[in-house]
Amino acid sequence: MIYVVDASVAVKWFVREELRDEAMRLLDDVSRLHAPDWIVLEVAHAASKKWRDGEIDADQAQAMAATLPDFIARLHGSVALTTRALAIAMALPHPVYDCLYIACAEANDGVVVTADKRLCQAVRQTAFAGLVRHLEDAPP
């Protein structure tokens, strides 16, 4: 099974947050982890915010962006996913940047693993429900 991880999961690989243990278990088999390349920008954004808030130091923030690609077997080009992500965003409705992960999962016969409860709620009772799993419900 391919797991498309989003930034809400990837950040937990670097920072102690709720559900960190569940996120770390996904690293047991990195070969099954995929994501749109957009994840690097999203994690860098989260790192800069955590640095500004004093939660992490500058070196840790830099390491998050620099080493993230090492944790993901395959990064998919966001440009190729954008048209489908926009269609999904319009169908839900939900922000298109989150829908990039759904489009990636759909294109690769995988499921999105996220800690974002808002995304999980957005897909509930839609055709996309089977493509998104909350991190708490992801298998080890």
Q: What is the pLDDT of residues 113-122, one digit of tens each?
A: 999 999 999 9
pLDDT of residue 91: 97
Q: What is the pLDDT of residue 138?
A: 78
Whole-number Cα distances in Å, 87 to 38, 64, 118: 17, 31, 18
Distance of alpha carbon 100 from alpha carbon 80, whole angstroms? 10
Phi, psi of 5 (to 5 degrees): -90, 145
Give pLDDT, residue 140.
63
- Average of per-residue pLDDT across 83-109: 97
Domains, the chain, ordered by start:
2-38+71-137 (3.40.50.1010)
Average pLDDT over residues 70-88: 98
Q: Which pLDDT tens digit goes with each residue over 25-74? A: 999 999 999 999 999 999 999 999 999 999 999 999 999 999 999 999 99
pTM summary value: 0.95
Place of tokens 């966001």: 78
Average pLDDT over residues 86-110: 97
Q: Please list the residues that pair with 2 across neighbouring strands.
A: 110
